[in-house]
Amino acid sequence: MDISDMARPLDGAGISAFLRSLPARPLLLGLGEARHFVGELGELRNEVFRYLVEHEGYRSFAIESDCLRGLVVDDHITAGAGTLDDVMERGFSHRFGTVPANRELVRWMRAYNEEHGEKLRFFGFDGPLEYWAESPRQALIGLYELLDGPFTDAVATRETLETLLGPDDRWSDEATAMDPSRSMGRSADAKRLRLIADDLVALLDTQAPQLSPADRERAALYGRTAVGLLRYHYWLADASPARWTRLSALRDAMMAANLRAVAENGPALVFSHNLHLQRNKSDMSFGEHVVEWWSAGALTAAHLGDRYAFLASAFGTAGGDAPPPDSVEGVLSTLPWDRSLIDARRLAGTLAEPTPRVSRDFAYFPLDPAQLKEIDGIVFLKQAVELEEVS
């Protein structure tokens, strides 16, 4: 089967041709990861972003990392705050600060901003959570301080907020992921904080003109993060069968809300796992149960339509794991280029019942042949060697 007429080398010309083939110029271009911590993909992502900045007018980058920690990185990139070592330690979640490609990206973005008047921006778009969640303190207190004025004390005093929040460790207990009884998400204090967060967000809506554009952007981030975290903590305390469905859906809903905000600074390149950026439902097995929810990409596409585009990544040989010849990745391995960009919808109409790939690497998520029509393009690496351990 000759598929070269629906593929091209992944270079600058290929990227521009792909963008021109889309029905509209995307505000958000998602580049998915089939697996976290793949060195070659991080390096390729950096090359793609540099090209998009220098030739396609892109000005923002967003990554699947804590949205509040991302403020540390953005402050460094735009204003030079902090050292690079400090930023990589404090500005990322999920161990992403240890990734060499991320360090090089931050260094390059800062260097670019030192030489250009129109600044690049950096965003984390995940919530401050994993399966458990952080304290809502930073978001709530941050919003409160930005709104500080004659109306905030009518909602709650600073002393009241501090009393209700209490020590951070009573919120950020990792054991709550598996034990709902350890969570304080349905305590009297948490319920009152949910009402206060709602009132503070409403206050932001009425007082926005008194804030600078930068403070409005940050206050909006604090507001949706505080509300999202308190919702998440509420469902961490739930013991019903709906618990993981709600938690998974809430996480991706927080991601999608952050992505819509990033789109206001678009066009932007978004880097995250394929499962978060795909347009179809995500699913996860818990014993005998399968949990399904709409991904952040699906939620974002529902709002942005054609202004959202998605490139899924896939690998041929990853480590020592080679794909079956009649799988999607096996067919793509016949392309003559080490790095390719493929029209996924045309490919879907060409393949006749490909064999689903089953990888020995539990962290690698093969392409689902049934979902190719929901993907705008595939970024394919014929070989991925630099695979770090995924915990």
Distances in Å between the Cα of 335 and the Cα atoms of 6, 98, 302, 321, 365 are 10, 33, 33, 18, 21
Strands, sheet with 121-126, edge to edge from the N-terminal-most edge strand: 7-9, 339-343, 377-384, 308-318, 28-33, 268-273, 60-66, 121-126
Q: What is the arithmetic mean of pLDDT over 265-269?
A: 94
CA distance 346 to 11: 20
pLDDT confidence tier of residue 149, bands split at 50, 70 and 90: confident
Within 13 A of 182's CA, how many CA atoms are on the CB side? 13
pLDDT at 329 over 90: yes
CA-wise closest residue to 364 among 376, 381, 341? 381
The DSSP line for 126-177 is E-SBSSSB--SHHHHHHHHHHH-STTHHHH--HHHHHHHH--GGGT--GGGG
Residue 382, amino acid:
K
pLDDT at 229 over 80: yes
Question: Which residues, 6+ apart, have CB-to-CB distance to 272 below 8 Å?
Answer: 30, 32, 33, 63, 64, 125, 255, 296
Task: State pLDDT tens for residues 40-84.
Answer: 999 999 999 999 999 999 999 999 999 999 999 999 999 999 999
| DSSP 8-state code for residue 323 | P
Tokens 């540099």 sit on residue: 50
pLDDT at 287 over 90: no
pLDDT at 379 over 90: yes
Burial classification of residue 241, based on how many CB atoms lie within 10 Å of its CB (0-12 exposed, 13-18 middle, 19 or more buried): exposed
Higher per-residue confidence, 288 vs 125? 125
Q: Mean of the per-residue pLDDT values for the chain?
A: 95
Within 13 A of 47's CA, how many CA atoms are on the CB side? 14
Task: Answer yes or no: are the C-beta atoms of 101 and 42 closer than 8 Å.
Answer: yes
Task: State pLDDT tens for residues 90-107.
Answer: 999 999 999 999 999 999
Task: State pLDDT tens for residues 169-214.
Answer: 999 999 999 999 999 999 999 999 999 999 999 999 999 999 999 9
Q: What is the 3-state secondary structure (H, E, C) of 100-122?
A: HHHHHHHHHHHHHHHHCCCCCEE
What is the DSSP pairing of strand 268-273 with strand 28-33? parallel
**Collapsed DSSP state (helix, strand, coil) of residue 124:** strand
pLDDT confidence tier of residue 110, bands split at 50, 70 and 90: very high
Task: Answer yes or no: are the C-beta atoms of 182 and 173 closer than 8 Å.
Answer: yes
pLDDT at 391 over 70: no
**Collapsed DSSP state (helix, strand, coil) of residue 227:** helix
pLDDT at 289 over 90: no
